[in-house]
């Protein structure tokens, strides 16, 4: 990437976190907050083609609120980038989804992906999933910022 490309992706992570805090404060509903947070992320992050949530139900992740093209409805825990993040309870930052073993193609335009597990009461309850049509889109700073947004979400729900 050139410096110009990096400048294109530079966002004010502190402002984004403050916007998320304000947006989710006073509302405890997990679906309403997921809907608003996915809209905020989709609107504010450049070069993103999907932003949304999957929630754990039994042994699978089920599609929650999102922005972007229609998506896979169910993902088995442990499969794909989202299922791996949920199973391992570890952020998955994938520069090239085509190199990720077992990648599940929901949108053929997606080239890179960042998935943050959502934890409540010591258990993974779902994931925050962000896709980009650009390979290598997500930086360490993006990972930190989106992990912070995931924590804001976790703290906002009952």
| pLDDT at residue number 2 | 38
The whole-angstrom separation of Cα 50 and Cα 109 is 10
Closest by Cα among 94, 110, 100 to 142 = 94
For the stretch 114-146, pLDDT in tens is: 999 999 999 999 999 999 999 999 999 999 999
Please report how the helices 13-24 and 30-44 are oriented relative to each other, as an axis angle in degrees rounded to 10. 150
Encode 129-155: b = buried (16+ Cβ within 10 Å), e = exposed. bbbbebeebbeeebbebbebbbebbbe
**What CA–CA distance (Å, rounded) separates 126 from 35?**
14
pLDDT in tens, 40-86: 999 999 999 999 999 999 999 999 999 999 999 999 999 999 999 99
The confidence score (pLDDT) of residue 11 equals 79
- Every domain of the chain and the residues it spans: 3-156
CATH architecture of 3-156: 2-Layer Sandwich (3.30)
């Amino acid at each position: 990437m050139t410096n110009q490309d990096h400048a294109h992706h530079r966002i004010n992570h502190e402002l984004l976190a403050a916007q998320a805090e304000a947006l989710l404060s006073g509302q405890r509903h997990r679906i309403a907050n997921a809907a608003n947070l996915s809209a905020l992320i989709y609107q504010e992050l450049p070069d993103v083609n999907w932003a949304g949530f999957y929630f754990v139900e039994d042994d699978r992740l089920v599609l929650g609120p999102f922005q972007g093209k229609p998506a896979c409805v169910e993902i088995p825990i442990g499969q794909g980038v989202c299922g791996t993040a949920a199973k391992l309870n570890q952020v998955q930052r994938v520069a090239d989804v085509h190199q990720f073993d077992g990648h599940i193609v929901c949108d053929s335009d997606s080239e890179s992906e960042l998935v943050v597990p959502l934890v409540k009461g010591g258990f993974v309850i779902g994931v925050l999933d962000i896709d980009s049509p650009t390979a290598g889109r997500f930086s360490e700073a993006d990972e930190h910022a989106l992990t912070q947004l995931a924590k804001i979400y976790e703290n906002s729900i009952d």
